[in-house]
């Protein structure tokens, strides 16, 4: 699972781990035939990419997709009284640059 990354490797990450975690990482690195640092970076990077992708992508089933498109294409509803009050408060309190 080693992924080569290009670029200047000038930044550092330091982590304190238990002796058991360190031993496990060392064993896994040996089994993969790489250094502990390369093993950790490769696997942590893959996990981070998965987390980011999971938060950036929305997956909808057929019914959810249909409802989403219907909502997008529907004409806007008239604003409620609460919405108008909130908009007034926003305009009074938020300063644009």
* pLDDT digit string, tens, across residues 5-31: 667 888 989 999 999 999 999 999 999
Does residue 44 contact residue 1 with C-beta atoms inside 8 Å? no
- Prediction pTM value: 0.57
Query: Which residue, chain included where needed, has tokens 């893959």?
Result: 46
List Cα–Cα distances, 5 to 20, 26, 38, 63, 94, in angstroms: 28, 21, 10, 40, 42
Over residues 44-81, the pLDDT tens digits come to 999 999 999 999 999 999 999 999 999 999 999 999 99
């Amino acid at each position: 699972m080693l992924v080569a990354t290009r670029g200047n490797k000038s930044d550092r990450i330091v982590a304190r781990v238990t002796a058991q975690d360190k031993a496990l990482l060392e064993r896994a690195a040996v089994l993969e035939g790489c250094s502990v640092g390369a093993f950790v970076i490769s696997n942590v990077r893959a996990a981070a990419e998965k987390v980011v992708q999971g938060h950036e992508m929305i997956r909808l089933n057929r019914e959810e997709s249909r409802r989403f498109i219907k909502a997008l294409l529907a004409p806007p509803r008239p604003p409620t009284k609460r919405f108008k009050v909130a908009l007034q408060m926003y305009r009074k309190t938020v300063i644009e640059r």
